[in-house]
Amino acid sequence: MKLKLVTLNLWFGGTMFDEIVAFLKVQDADVVVLQEAYNGEDVSLKPQYRSMQELRKRLGYPYDNFVADYLDFDDAEGKAQRGNAILSKFPITASDAVFFVGEYTEEYRNVDGKYDTCPRDLQHVALQTPAGEVNVFNIQGVWDLNGENYSPQRKHMAEVVIKAIEGKPNVIVAGDTNAKQVNQSIKDIEEHLQSVFGEELTSTFNMRHKDNPGYATAAVDAIFISPNIKVLEKSQPDVDLSDHLPLTATLEI
């Protein structure tokens, strides 16, 4: 069975929302893995703060799952839960999430010097597919501005991923790790899963929206797969949708 997957950090729910929707329509992926999604229910909010509601309406995926990390009302003109989202053409038969840092809160604020306390989670869904159960994990890693720092938090992040995938068939882990691919935490994960892109990407940031030149050599978005899964196609489209670039992979399971 072939499965196409796209992963993208939406950038505050979709700062360039129309461009994101147009891109995802063209990609027509079986599974879409998104970070920095919003679940605001106030219809007066901008579309980016109602990511889930707007994506359901505009893309029409029959199945989805959202995990909230915290209630954000610093960037939004109102209150909206922020977290991870997965859209799927396949039925979701089970779902769960585990936090790397903290737990869901309505108290966290993005304050300089406090980024390492930002709640981050590993979202998981089990999909019913013609090839059997496929386990998709959506990662947004712990926040650390030093992409090579193998901190205790990053070590813990890798341990959480490794424990979560244990014994599960057909595993895909995708998302924004917030760690460079040379980081030891990524190497720890690669002892159990294959990295689709390895170290071949120079950066996964869209430098059209970054002033710090350090981002130009920071490949932090990734896709990992079980050893039994074959990569048929992979790409990093150079499209202006977010402050990150999307990754795509067509897999054979």
Which pLDDT score, from 0 to 100, does residue 111 have?
65
Span 123-148, mean pLDDT?
Answer: 95
Structure tokens at 228: 């039994």
How much is the pTM? 0.96
C-alpha 154/C-alpha 147 separation (Å) is 10
Which pLDDT score, from 0 to 100, does residue 95 have?
98
Backbone phi and psi for residue 245, each to the nearest 5 degrees, phi listed first? -100, 145
Three-class DSSP category at 228: coil
C-alpha 136/C-alpha 76 separation (Å) is 29
Span 190-196, mean pLDDT?
Answer: 98
Percentages (nearest 5) of helix, strand, coil residues in the chain? 20, 35, 40
Helical axes 17-27 vs 51-59, angle rounded to 10°: 40
* Range in 34-48, 68-82, 209-223 with the lowest mean pLDDT: 68-82
pLDDT (tens digit, 9 = 90+) per residue, 22-61?
999 999 999 999 999 999 988 889 999 999 999 999 999 9
Is the Cβ–Cβ distance between 58 and 94 less than 8 Å?
Answer: no
Which pLDDT score, from 0 to 100, does residue 126 have?
98
